[in-house]
Each structure stands twice: as structure tokens, then as C-alpha cells.
Structure 1
């Protein structure tokens, strides 16, 4: 989990599914409206895949809020990462970087 002042971000995965289902979460200590961009990149022997989504999210105080679900096929031979960018009312962007869960 990454903590940035009043915002926490983490990933959950569905147990042992293939493709892997990843659910990013955001939680804040206050009510917030956040813009987000989510991007997953996989590089491996089979080529490169990029999956992305974005939008606006209402985050109630102290309530974990899912950004949706992503399904990814990857193996131990692949390099895989997930990047999340959050912004609020013109403030500086907050960037979070994760390796894909094993």
C-alpha cells in the first residue's frame, strides 16, 4: 500500500484466477472527487500489451473505493507493471507504481 498524506492506494487480486483479476482501490480521510488514469503494461516473449482506463471517482471519507477491475494474462517471464495517476481540482498529480501481483 502506498500512502500519500490523506490518500491510500492498493491493489487486490482475485485468488489464483487466469487471467489474473486486479482491483485497484483508493481510500481517503475526507470526501474527495478524484480524476484518475490507470495503465497496465506487460512486456514479454509474446509481445507488448497495454491496458488503460480513466475517469472521475467519488471517494467517500474512510471508505475503500474500487476503480474497477482489470484482467491480465502474464507469466513469470513477462515484465508487468501498473501505474495509477490521481489528481484533484488542479492540484499536482499523485503517481503510484506497482509491479503486477505474483
Structure 2
């Protein structure tokens, strides 16, 4: 079962110090949002690259903003991280988290 939580909610004590950086009153890039989701999920570049069958340098490029994923890669990122495309693209501040 899934639930939607707002990015401004305290997710767990270990990442609460990052909460202010990702508050919804500021526009964040795809890279910022991807970094946040990977932090929440505790997933490394290598782990995500393995799930997506791509190079770790590709993921690193997305996380730094040096590369912009195409629609197919965004879809794969969303599937791999169980996150909505709306969140990653900045259309929503709610992230889909698996219980």
C-alpha cells in the first residue's frame, strides 16, 4: 500500500536536517528533487544505475544537473524509485512513498 506525504513533513530524524533545503516555497530542479528522493530511499548511484540498466555516470549527471533525462529515462527513474513524475518535474510537492 502506498501513501502520499508532503515533502515538508518530517520523514525521519536522520534526514530532517535536509528538510529546510527542500521546502516547497522555493522552486527546485530535477536534480535537487532526484537527490532528495535518493536520500530518502537511501539509494546510491550504483544501485539506481543497476535498477535502470544504465551507467553510473548517467545517474551522476542527472544528480548534478549536468545531464537532463529524456521522457523514457524519467519513466524508468520513477519506476525504480517509486516516485511520481509530477514530483520530479516540480509539478507537485508530494512524493509517493512505499509503506
Give the TM-score category using the shorter length: under 0.3
Tell me which protein shows more strand as a share of its residues.
1
TM-score (norm 2): 0.22
Q: Which of the pair has more CA radius of gyration? A: 1
For normalisation by structure 1, the TM-score amounts to 0.22
- The higher relative CO (CA closer than 8 Å, separation ≥ 6) is in 2
Quick check: which one's helix share is greater? Answer: 2
